[in-house]
Structure 1
Amino acid sequence: MTTLDNIEIIIGTYEQFLLGYGVETSDDGFKLIRNFATHTHQASIRDLASSRHYLASAGADDSIYLYNMQNRMETGKLTHHNDTVNSIAFTPNASHILTCSTDGSIAAVRCGNWKLEKHWKNAHKGSSVNTICIHPSGKLALSVGSDGVLRTWNLVKGRQAYATNLIPKLGPYAKNITVTKWSPDGTKYLIATNSMLILYSVENAGIIHEAKFECRVTCVEFHDDLIIIGHDNGQVQLYNWESPPKSYLKIAHDSRVKAIACSDDIIATSSSSGELKVWRLTKNSLNLLATENCGARITCMVLARKFANQKVKQEVSIINENQTVATKKNIFKIRQEVIIEVDNDEVSNEIVDNSFKNLKRNPKSKSVTSADIRKMNSLSQNVRKKSKIIEKVSPFTERKKKNKGALNIDSKKLKLQGHQETENSVLDATNTKTMSKDSVNTEIKIKKKQEEAEKIPDLNSTINLISPSAKKRKSLTKLNPATKVIKKASKKLKKRKIMRQ
């Protein structure tokens, strides 16, 4: 048994709105309450289909919009048709969705990845396809076009099985058929046009019942052994085709009945004036439960499964937790680059450990704003400037270390003093935030020249005191050719031999 708490009534309107209603109990009985409203289509909505958590809406804007009813979110859009999408239908296991359009094509799209797997571009020889319906087994499908032909499609092989010409039977009305339905057990199907209803048998492949009514048939729905028929004058008829045929009429609406949807003993009807009613079927009679006017012209309707709000809240909370974790990670990465400036004009390149301790203690700390990020970036840029300036000054100190002359203790003191003075001058220059790069570089160059002019002469004087002839000294080792050395050695040997003799 289907309860009112488990279903949701979804309607499409001529004004391009998609509306969802739920039935809630009250002191006076039942009430229809609007759960959601969305305006995604750019033209009127022509058909709706629902299976499991999928919901699809087809419109005159050549597009099909897809929704996830579990999360209540729009998940995609299909635009493989080039004209108005007249009818859509899900397979029973919700593996595919079939669509047909005025452009004369039928398409099969896989649910989930929404990939177009089959596209019959000339399904009805170039004529528009008015309606399509799928067998409860998911292996067959019926389609009717403006060419007046009823075509059966083998969905397993992906091709047409056979075609039936309806023009000899129905005449010009065969080109305007918009109602085709399979029975729940899959043994019968029907078509309706104008004021006529024809019931076919799958086993005999022939007509088993025909019925004519006083008013035009606008919508039809199977319910066990009954056929629920909506008429142009606002009447809802319960029709039993078994012999003798029986019918029960109920004046449900003041205007044309536009759509009928049923689930077990719950039946929903809607009219073109915007009136929506929910009924309970008991012993061939309809008992009204709730009514509401949506304020728009209804074009189609479907009953969808209503998911519990707790699951939705759990999923939202999980998403929020993931978002908070992500923001904490981002904060951690940003704060690693933060450098503190001390009041004593000293720069420390240490990471802010205290801030991270506070984050661990207070997980509900405020998120970093854009102003904080700008301050962090400016601080990091100042530190980069300082590192570049120190790199420029370091070669001056290295030159003094590379000097080959002998230096005394006074020269070492000069080195240390010069190095400290340069570092202090750099820190003083960089602590001023308003100073530009060019001004800092020019001041450093001037200080360099002054220090070189003052200190380098002292170094030279110490070198002159220790080795006064260092500048005039030349290399004492002169290399002689090898032949001269050999000749001298041979002469000495000859002299020695002569002396011995």
Structure 2
Amino acid sequence: MDELVVGTYEGFVLGYSLRSDDSIQKLKQTFATQSHTASVRCVSIAGKFLASGGTDDKIVVIDMKSRKEHTVLMNHDGTINTVAFTHGGTHLLSQPVTAIAVHPSDKMALSIGGDKTLRTWNLIKGRPAFTINLASKGVLLPTEIRFSPGGDRFSLISQQTVDVWTISKAGVEKRMTCNSKPTSVQWIDDERLYVGLENGNIITLTVTDTQALTYQAHKQRVKSLHYESEMLYSASSSGELKVWSVDDSKLTEICSCNASCRVTCVTLNRQNHLVKKEEKSDEDEKPETVEDQKDSDSDNSDLDEKEEVKPKRQKRKPGAFVSISYGDEEEKKAAPPPKKK
């Protein structure tokens, strides 16, 4: 079951899963941990690793398979505004900037900051490529940047506008003005995208059409959106979480709940990645029987002893404790995490 991971202003990172209860789908809490001493600004996940950054100047990486803290990155001199894994899950990018977006090819990244510039980064060589002055393009104070699934376009949101840029021209292809300040964008495909607004609405925009569909999603401003597998997840500043089914750009609410915290960001933990890795690791760690050893000896009798490789179980390094409280079948509030000793 996929988990919706939520960062909060109170420093908590929470998890929720969509479960069926008497043919009614509900969001139930799966874990809660207070890994930060200040508000969580961003969360990102790749494979089994979840990274969260906050105003306490650190990044906490949690192993979602073992449900333990994996490591803490402390070498930052300011608030962690954004973190982003490469799509291959091999690198984690963090910068004292407003937002980061990694290209689907993992060869390039884009960043925006308070200096009103758009910077392109070569991830193969690990150095900046070029810089664009956003003020010259009519973009003021951008707050979020996001690539389309194909990587041919990316979106920039600022003030009352959503700008769609093309990689080939390195310029604005289309500018869409909203009736309220946009706060979050999620691409559905290379043509369509959802935009969360400060007035609590979610609108559907297309690159080729000027018409926008408006949905009254929340009573307070939309803080974050996440789209995955024809499902849209939205969170408001009041702590309200909602799950929507997407059918031809039409939104249908499935369920909702309240996190009882001020939500700042969301992402999705796809459990199918963990299941595949668990099955593979369990098979690799299966103890070798005597019969298997005999068969192996007979089949590889012509090999030298130096070339023989025997599987060894690697000891897991102890990680810091992260409290995990799983939701029971009966709906109830998750207990607050115990204090670390």
TM-score w.r.t. the length of structure 1 is: 0.54
Q: Tell me, what secondary structure is at the counterpart of 1:246? A: coil
Unaligned runs of 5+ in 2: 286-341
Match of 1:227 among 174, 182, 193: 193
Q: Give the corresponding residue for 1:191.
A: 156
Q: Which residue identity lines up with residue 42 of structure 1 in the other structure? A: T
Cα distance, 1:311 vs structure 2: 5.2
Letter of the 1:272 counterpart = S
Q: How does 1:226-265 map to 2 (within 5 A)?
A: 226-242=192-208, 244-265=209-230
Per-residue deviation, 1:246: 2.9
Contact 1:29 1:289 in 2 (8 A): no
- Distance verdict in 2 for CA 1:136–1:14, change over 3 Å: same
* 1:233 maps to amino acid: N
How far apart, in 2, do the equivalents of 1:291 and 1:311 lie? Answer: 30
Is 1:58 paired with 2:26? Answer: no
SS state at 1:168 partner: helix
Aligned equivalents of 2:185 and 2:58: distance in 1?
25
Q: What are the equivalent positions in structure 2 for 1:137-176 lying under 5 Å apart?
A: 137-170=105-138, 174=140, 176=141
For residue 54 of structure 1, report the CA deviation from its aligned partner.
Answer: 1.1
- 3-state secondary structure, aligned to 1:33: strand
Q: Deviations over 1:60-116 (max 9, x none)?
A: 000000011111111110011111011010011111010012xxxxxxxxxxxxxxx
When you count helix as a share of all residues, which structure comes out higher?
1
What are the Cα deviations for residues 463-493 of structure 1, in whole angstroms up to 9, with x where unaligned? xxxxxxxxxxxxxxxxxxxxxxxxxxxxxxx
SS for the counterpart of 1:204 is: coil
Q: Where in structure 2 are the equivalents of 1:26-425 lying within 5 Å?
A: 26-101=21-96, 129-170=97-138, 174=140, 176-224=141-189, 225-242=191-208, 244-306=209-271, 307=274
Question: Which digits, 9 at most, give the CA deviation of each residue in 1:399-452, with x for residues without a partner?
Answer: xxxxxxxxxxxxxxxxxxxxxxxxxxxxxxxxxxxxxxxxxxxxxxxxxxxxxx
CA distance in 1, matches of 2:267, 2:211: 27
The higher-RCO structure (CA 8 Å, 6+ apart) is 2
User: How big is the shift at 1:168?
Assistant: 3.0
**Counterpart residue identity of residue 284, structure 1:** S
Q: CA–CA distance in 2 between the matches of 1:216 and 1:258? A: 11
Letter in 1 for 2:149: P
Q: Supply the distance in 2 between the matched residues of 1:310 and 1:92 (Cα, whole angstroms).
A: 17
Matches of 2:142 and 2:175 in 1, distance apart? 15
- Secondary structure (helix, strand or coil) at the match of 1:167 reads helix
Percent of pairs with identical residues: 34
Higher radius of gyration, 1 or 2: 1
Instruction: Tell me the matched-pair count.
Output: 280
Q: Which residue of 1 aligns with 2:301?
A: none
- RMSD of the TM alignment (CA)? 2.0
Q: Please, what TM-score do these two structures have when normalized by structure 2?
A: 0.79
Structure with the bigger percentage of strand: 2
Q: What secondary structure, in the 3-state scheme, does the structure 1 residue paired with 2:212 have?
A: strand
Residue 480 of structure 1: aligned partner: none
What's the CA shift string for 1:32-59, capped at 9, x where partnerless?
A: 1100000110110000001111110001
Letter in 1 for 2:134: L
Unaligned runs of 5+ in 1: 102-128, 319-501
Q: Post-superposition shift, 1:220? A: 0.5
Deviations 1:340-380 (A, max 9, x none): xxxxxxxxxxxxxxxxxxxxxxxxxxxxxxxxxxxxxxxxx
Shift of residue 28 of structure 1? 4.5
